[in-house]
Amino acid sequence: MKIVLKISKGLCIGAQSCVIQDPEHFVMDDYEGKAFLRKDENAEFVRELELDVTEEQKAKYMKIAELCPTQAISVFDEKNNQLFP
């Protein structure tokens, strides 16, 4: 299944809870001090990322989004239905 992760630049306060949980896909921008997404370690930083995930991985990303203190991370399904927040 596919999910889409989005990070709101305006809501992100740089708490880094997402980076701690998944440093492969979540990274901090040294310039802005905000979280970004990336497909892999060689990819550019983006605010929106589509991933192919298992049900277990989907639950992991839902938990990461829930841990964000400002709800800056949104999760959508492949039909663009918002799953969180």
Does any domain span residue 25? yes
Token digits of residue 66: 């829930």
Does any domain span residue 83? no
Q: How far apart are CA 79 and CA 25, in angstroms?
A: 22
- Report whether 19 contacts 12 (CB < 8 A): no
Per-residue pLDDT of 18-52, as tens digits, reads 999 999 999 999 888 999 999 988 889 999 999 99
pLDDT at residue 54 in the model? 97
Per-residue pLDDT of 56-75, as tens digits, reads 999 999 999 999 999 999 99
pLDDT at residue 30 in the model? 87
If one counts the domains in the chain, the total is 1
What predicted TM-score, i.e. pTM, was given to this entire model? 0.93
CATH of the domain at 30: 3.30.70.20
Q: How far apart are CA 64 and CA 54, in angstroms?
A: 15
Q: How far apart are CA 54 and CA 59, in angstroms?
A: 9
Q: Which domain holds residue 46?
A: 2-75
